């Protein structure tokens, strides 16, 4: 079926590639996890150094919703980061369902916030929702900034790898970076009302996911 | 006879360490495997270009193979990715049709290969999309000819090709 010419071309290509072979270090999941883990650690340190650490969370001042929100953000960040690190080494049979379920879990928070604000149960008790004016915007902006380093580390990892699901890779990069960055910023944010956490600490994840989908595929396509 | 999964995985692991003899054998075997893999989904005159394209990708991305995992699912993910990229580029009218012999089913295809095959991707597309992709991108018909053959308008053929390729690219790693 192949012409002698094409056979000759392929043999020549094989000879060239063989001649140019150099040893390579296999990309393993743990290497990617270390890269993203280091970026997460640096982000956390940066947040604490620049914005300070809210010690109130360990002194009984934090509402349970604070722990629920940041716990869900960490779970989503972990699930999406695991998926996107795996994407660098493609394989027919890979599945990336966990971040979808974790995203659905996180989506409960803004719905809860909406219900809380509409019914004003917390407001009636004198709590600040932290949703108006500059407070919410400040948290959204700072969380987005805090997501940058993790996003960059994932993109670099994917560019070294061979992602074959580039659009999904974009979503997952944004989800992972947004969730981890927002959780890291949460170390310094003392606002723990349902309204604030459910909106201002979830919006950055959605924004980063959309940004990731729009910008990352062109950076990792090969 | 193409080497089995375990042998290919062993050759690839040795290649990552710089073993040129193993790599030479691996590339020859991978070339034959890819030729069979693409045979029913690429016009004969484009087959060798695509096989060589994937072999280049294998070389450039060889560090992304995890030696603890099987080789063929890794290679076929790369092959599918390059194949979809190839389909996107094929817009010109191509007169060559698939030869009858190319459509034959390979009886030696084992379970692993069936799971990673290109056919698995097509079954996930709506019939209208897979039909026009096959006609235009694989058999080489023009948009007008595909429209006449399927009863779809020319615009719809273009839309279905676009949507189908987009969906295919989202399914590259899908195994079932």
- Structure confidence by residue, pLDDT tens digits, B91-143: 544 444 444 444 444 444 455 565 667 777 888 899 999 999 989 888 888 89
Using one digit for the tens of pLDDT, what is the confidence trace for A76-93? 999 999 999 999 999 998
Is the CB of B52 less than 8 angstroms away from the CB of A10? yes
Using one digit for the tens of pLDDT, what is the confidence trace for A121-164? 555 444 555 555 688 899 999 999 999 999 999 999 999 999 99
Q: Which of B35, B39, B73 lies at the smallest CB-CB distance from A91? A: B73
Q: How far is residue B75's CA from residue B149's CA, in Å, rounded to a whole number?
A: 35
- Rounded (5°) CA angle A150-A155-A159: 150
* Residue ranges of domains in chain A: 27-220
Burial A23-40 (b: 16+ CB within 10 A, else e): eeebbbeeebeebbeebb
Q: Which two tokens stand for residue A92?
A: 């027919």
Higher pLDDT residue, A44 or A114?
A44
User: Does B45 reach chain A within 8 Å, measured CB to CB?
Assistant: no
For position A221, what pLDDT does the model report?
Answer: 94
Q: Which of B74, B169, B57, B100 is nearest to A93 (CA)?
A: B74
For position B140, what pLDDT does the model report?
Answer: 82
Query: What ipTM score was computed for the predicted complex, to two decimals?
Result: 0.81
Size of interface A-B (CB pairs under 8 A): 126
Is the CB of A21 less than 8 angstroms away from the CB of B15? yes
Is the CB of A90 less than 8 angstroms away from the CB of B173? yes
Q: How confident is the model at residue A44 (pLDDT cuts 50, 70, 90)?
A: very high
For B139, other C-beta atoms within 10 Å of its C-beta total 16
Q: How confident is the model at residue B3 (pLDDT cuts 50, 70, 90)?
A: confident
Provide the percentage of residues in chain A whose pLDDT is more than 90. Answer: 76
Contacts with B17 from chain A: Cβ below 8 Å: 23
For position A69, what pLDDT does the model report?
Answer: 95
Q: Which of B134, B131, B137, B165 is nearest to B151 (CA)?
A: B131
What is the DSSP-derived secondary structure letter of residue B96?
A: P
Contacts with B22 from chain A: Cβ below 8 Å: none
For position B137, what pLDDT does the model report?
Answer: 85
Using one digit for the tens of pLDDT, what is the confidence trace for B34-58? 999 998 788 888 889 899 999 999 9
Q: What are phi and psi of A89, to 5 degrees?
A: -110, 95
Average pLDDT (A170-197) is 95
Given a cut of 50, is residue A214 above it in pLDDT? yes
User: Does B56 reach chain A within 8 Å, measured CB to CB?
Assistant: yes
Given a cut of 90, is residue A40 above it in pLDDT? yes
Please state the pTM of the whole predicted model: 0.84
Is the CB of A90 less than 8 angstroms away from the CB of B77? yes
Q: Which of A23, A160, A167 lies at the smallest CB-CB distance from B17? A: A23
All domains of chain B in start order, with CATH: 5-170 (1.10.1740.10)
């Amino acid at each position: 079926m192949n012409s002698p010419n094409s056979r000759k071309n392929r043999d020549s290509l094989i000879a060239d590639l063989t001649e140019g072979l150099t040893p390579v270090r296999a990309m393993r999941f743990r290497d990617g996890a270390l890269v993203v883990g280091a970026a997460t650690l640096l982000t956390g340190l940066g947040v604490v150094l620049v914005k300070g650490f809210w010690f109130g969370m360990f002194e009984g001042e934090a509402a349970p919703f604070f722990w629920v929100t940041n716990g869900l953000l960490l779970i989503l960040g972990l699930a999406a980061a695991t998926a996107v690190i795996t994407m660098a080494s493609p394989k027919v049979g890979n599945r990336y369902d966990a971040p979808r379920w974790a995203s659905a879990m996180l989506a409960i928070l803004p719905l809860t916030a909406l219900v809380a604000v509409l019914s004003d149960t917390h407001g009636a008790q004198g709590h600040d929702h932290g949703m108006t004016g500059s407070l919410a915007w400040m948290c959204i902006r700072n969380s987005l900034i805090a997501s940058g380093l993790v996003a960059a580390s994932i993109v670099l990892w994917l560019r070294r790898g061979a992602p074959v699901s580039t659009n999904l890779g974009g979503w997952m990069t944004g989800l992972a970076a947004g969730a981890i960055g927002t959780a890291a910023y949460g170390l310094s944010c003392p606002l723990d009302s349902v309204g604030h956490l459910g909106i201002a600490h979830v919006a950055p994840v959605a924004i980063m996911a959309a940004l990731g989908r729009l910008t990352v595929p062109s950076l990792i396509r090969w | 006879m193409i080497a089995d999964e375990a042998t290919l995985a062993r050759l690839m692991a040795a290649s990552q360490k710089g073993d040129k003899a193993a790599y030479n054998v691996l590339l020859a075997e991978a070339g034959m495997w890819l030729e069979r893999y693409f045979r029913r989904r690429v016009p004969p005159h484009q087959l060798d270009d695509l096989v060589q394209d994937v072999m280049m990708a294998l070389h450039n991305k060889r560090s992304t193979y995890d030696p603890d995992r099987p080789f063929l699912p890794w290679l076929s993910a790369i092959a599918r990715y390059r194949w979809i990229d190839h389909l996107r580029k094929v817009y010109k009218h191509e007169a060559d049709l698939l030869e009858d012999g190319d459509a034959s089913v390979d009886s030696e295809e084992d379970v692993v290969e069936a799971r990673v095959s290109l056919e698995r991707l097509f079954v996930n597309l709506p019939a209208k999309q897979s039909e026009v992709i096959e006609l235009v991108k694989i058999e080489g018909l023009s948009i007008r000819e595909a429209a006449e053959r399927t009863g779809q308008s020319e615009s719809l053929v273009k839309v279905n090709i676009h949507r189908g390729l987009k969906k295919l690219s989202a399914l590259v790693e899908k195994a079932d």
